[in-house]
Amino acid sequence: MPRRARLTLAAVPMHVIQRGNNRQACFFADDDYRLYLNWLKEYAAKTGCRIHAFVLMTNHVHLLVSAEVDDGVGALMKALGQRYVQYVNRTYRRSGTLWEGRFRSCLTQEECYFLACQRYIELNPVRARIVEHPSDYPWSSYRVNAEGESNSLIQPHPLYLALATDPSTRQAAYRDLFRDQLDPELINALRSATNGNFALGDSRFTDQISRAIGRRATPGTSGRPRKRSDPVSEDLF
């Protein structure tokens, strides 16, 4: 059965996750994280992509990206993935694949889900019980968005900028968003949309995406429905 073509649309934010093959580690030392971020910045510029948020976990990566062209994110992830795999194989004297197939993604409605998705990404280390607070984790965009840490990789989205007119007030407003827990239903919806390559948003948004790309952007009714007991990736924190 052919795999579904990825939903891509210029200027619409996309949540991306790429995991290590068989849930194995893809980062082994601090230099690995640093180089990945350096190359992410390089290839984002080359492919016309804007990185709004990221977190690098031991065995997977989350990104929140907007692209200037429909295939921008795909081009970014292909170039970045190949460069990083070559580095890992050479550095650690290994061979073969590093990533688990294609990256997974979902188009994300700005008004309802964008800031929630950004929080979801930056809270990954907390959900994984690696740290108690997102500011304690060095390999995410939280310190940039919430504390003003300098990092030219991050390109703020207009919704983030609209939190306040000056940076310090904006950062304080953003930190306030983390006082409340993310709705479990929202987390489940985000995970399902990302795993299934669907659009994440209300019916108006998903209808707009479907019309724009010429095919459905939500799960269909055919095929075996997911049972409650069906596993959801434990890596998708």
How many angstroms separate the CA atoms of 161 and 73, rounded? 22
Structure tokens at 113: 């889900």
Q: Is the pLDDT score of 2 beyond 90?
A: no
What string of DSSP letters covers the chain?
A: -PPPPPP--TTS-EEEEEEBGGG--S--SHHHHHHHHHHHHHHHHHHTEEEEEEEE-SSEEEEEEEESSTTHHHHHHHHHHHHHHHHHHHHTT--S--B-SS-EEEEE-HHHHHHHHHHHHHTHHHHTTS-SSGGG-SSBSHHHHHH----TTB---HHHHTT-SSHHHHHHHHHHHTTSPPPHHHHHHHHHHHHHT-EES-HHHHHHHHHHHTS--S--S-SPPPPTTS---TT--
What pLDDT, on the 0 to 100 scale, is given for residue 4? 66
How high is the mean pLDDT of the chain? 91
CB 7 within 8 A of CB 71: no
The string of pLDDT tens digits covering residues 84-105 is 999 999 999 998 889 998 899 9
Q: Whole-angstrom Cα distance, residue 104 to residue 210?
A: 18
Instruction: Report all structural domains of the chain as residue ranges with CATH numbers, in order of start.
Output: 14-207 (3.30.70.1290)
Is residue 145 predicted with pLDDT exceeding 80? Answer: yes
Least confident of 23-37, 56-70, 89-103, 219-233: 219-233
**Distance in angstroms between the alpha carbons of the first and the last residue of the chain:** 29
Q: Hey, what amino acid is at 159?
A: L
Name the token pair of 37: 């971020």
For the beta sheet containing 60-67, the strands, ordered from the edge strand earlier in sequence to the opposite edge, are 49-56, 60-67, 14-19, 104-108, 199-200
Residues 6+ apart with CB under 8 A from 154: 51, 52, 53, 54, 141, 144, 145
Identify the weakest region by mean pLDDT among 10-14, 93-97, 120-124, 219-223: 219-223
Residue keyed to tokens 């290994």: 94
Q: What pLDDT is stored for residue 225 in this prediction?
A: 38
Q: Mean of the pLDDT values across residues 43-59?
A: 98
pLDDT of residue 224: 44
- Residues 146-171: pLDDT tens digits? 999 999 999 999 999 999 999 999 99
